[in-house]
Amino acid sequence: MKLNRRSFLASSAAATAVMGTPMILRAQPTEYVVASSLPLTGPFATAGQLVSPAMKMFEALVNEDGGIGGVPIRTTIEDSGYVPATALANYQRALATEPNLVMYYGDSTGFMKLVAPELKGENATLMGSTSFASDLANPAENPYQYLPGPSYEDQVDILLQNIKDAGGSTVAFIFSNTEFGRDPIEHGKKKAEELGIKVVLEEATKAQGADIPTHVTKLAQSGAEHCILQGYVTGVWPQLIGGARQFGLPTQFHGTFWGMEKLIADRVTAEAGPFLEGYSGVMPYRYSYDQEEAPIYQRYAAFQKKAFAGTPLENYMPTWGLQSLISLNLGIEALRRVANKGLEITADRAAEELAGINDYDSGGFFGGPVSMVDNKIGTGRVYTYKAESGLFEPSSDWFTV
């Protein structure tokens, strides 16, 4: 039988208990490791490069607050290129080289589904990610993985309900040909039928470099009053809207979380005019400039002014950074709860504490206290882009799915 370090320690502890002699307590680690894979290259590199500094800010502020049970954390970042197999290799390397790995942050839906079967026994680690994949909100199947907000299906439900409330009767789904893009489409079709909304177009595009004229022509032929865009980050979604406006289409466009970044909307407006005016979508969180009731945002802002002076992060935290920060904060909350009970940190104990998060005060990310239900937080609000102010402004109340 192969005997590794963990099984050796376990068998030694069992033997000691049987013999009735005192056990040697495990030494307190000098640090805990929070590792991550980010797309620093590839189609979503812009997002990964802006999230990377947020990880280091997270490390500094967690350690300023005493780390986990008095033990500091150290973050590590490896490039995935947005390739699930690469991210998986990164995770396996972290498992092999970081004995005090307590949490991992993944880069995609593809990675989270690829790694899920491996999260067993000593290979299990508490795991957040960029993904809001609907399949991950299943603690029975994926006890260690969680969503820091509503699933993509939840987000599409919110948008369809808003369309219905506004009197809309037809909708188009345009989505990237990725697992990320396809995730909520079948569910969205069923929800639309329930609401009496006719789906007049389902159109898949490339995640980048899409054939915009062809897709816009199909949208025009469909006659859709509303269009939900899913599965895009930095490109394609504004190009589709711009193409539709050039075509003279009055279609109202809506996006999910990853298509709600102010930096992208501002750049497009500066380069091509205010055609994104009125574009709306779902955000689980406040934007970073909405700090009045968000003390954690105020703390971040003070750190950013000093640490990121002269960069885009000096006065603004992108939505992508906010998503990683709340994801990591939720994981740290669970890990601290284990440590505060005087217990050794394990993936199972961390997952149990995570599932028990109830009426949690996030410091202002969300509109109020939130709870983890089925390993997700189903809270969101609709925002609409105002080209003149350059801000996404609230256009609905906070609500929970």
- Are residues 265 and 317 located together in one domain of the fold? no
pLDDT digits (tens, 9 = 90+) for 134-187: 899 999 999 999 999 999 999 999 999 989 999 999 999 999 998 889 999 999
Answer yes or no: is 117 within a domain: yes
199-251 pLDDT, tens per residue? 999 999 999 899 999 999 999 999 999 999 999 988 899 999 999 999 999 99
Q: Where are the beta strands (DSSP E) in 261-322?
A: 280-283
Shared domain for 272 and 323, answered yes or no, is no
pLDDT at 26: 55
DSSP state of 136: G
pLDDT for residue 78: 97
Summary count for the chain: helices (H), strands (E): 13, 12
325 within domain boundaries: yes
pLDDT of res. 25: 46
Q: Which CATH number fits the domain that encloses residue 87?
A: 3.40.50.2300
pLDDT tens-digit series, residues 254-267: 999 999 999 999 99
Domain-embedded: residue 394 = yes
Among 72, 53, 54, residue whose Cα is nearest residue 62: 72
| Same domain? 77 vs 173 | no
> pLDDT tens across 6-54, in order?
443 344 444 333 334 333 345 789 999 999 999 999 888 888 898 899 9
Verify that 31 and 78 share a domain, yes or no. yes
Domain assignment present for 11: no
State if pTM tops 0.85: yes
Q: Which structure tokens are listed for 255?
A: 């996006």
In tens, the pLDDT along 42-51 reads 888 888 898 8
Bridge partners for 145 per DSSP = 127
The Cα–Cα gap between 306 and 316 comes to: 13
Question: Are 346 and 254 found together in one domain?
Answer: no
In a domain, 12, yes or no: no
Instruction: Confirm whether 9 is domain-assigned.
Output: no
Residues 266 and 393 in one domain: yes
Give tens-digit pLDDT for 323-351.
999 999 999 999 999 999 999 999 999 99
Does 195 lie in the same domain as 59?
Answer: no
Q: Is 39 exposed, middle or buried (0-12, 13-18, 19+ CB in 10 A)?
A: buried
**Total tally of structural domains belonging to the chain:** 2
Task: Tell me: do 146 and 156 sit in the same domain.
Answer: no
Please give the pLDDT value at position 230: 97
β-sheet bridge partners, residue 238: none
Same structural domain for residues 59 and 187?
Answer: no
Give the pLDDT mean for 85-112. 96
Residue 288 is assigned to a structural domain of this protein? no
What domain range is 86 assigned to? Answer: 26-150+294-370
The owner of tokens 């000593």 is: 122
Question: CB within 8 A of 223, min separation 6: which ones?
Answer: 170, 200
Mean pLDDT of the chain: 92
Determine the pLDDT at residue 235: 86
66 & 212 share domain:
no
Give the residue, 399 or 309, on which the prediction is more confident: 309
Residue 27 neighbours by CB under 8 Å, 6+ apart? none
Amino acid 399: pLDDT: 84
What pLDDT shows up at residue 15? 38
Predicted pLDDT at 50: 85
- Tokens 């893009």: give the residue: 181
Percentage of the residues of the chain whose pLDDT score is greater than 70: 93
In this structure, are 41 and 141 located in the same domain? yes
Helix (H) or strand (E) holding 218: helix 212-222
Q: How far apart are CA 166 and CA 160, in angstroms?
A: 10
Co-location of 70 and 119 in the same domain? yes
Look at residue 366 in the predicted model and tell me its pLDDT: 96
Find the distance separating the first CA and the last CA of the chain, reported in whole Å: 49
- For 226, list phi and psi in degrees, rounded to 5: -130, 150
Q: How far apart are CA 191 and CA 288, in angstroms?
A: 32
pLDDT (0 to 100) of residue 35: 98
Q: What local confidence, expressed as pLDDT, does residue 234 receive? A: 83
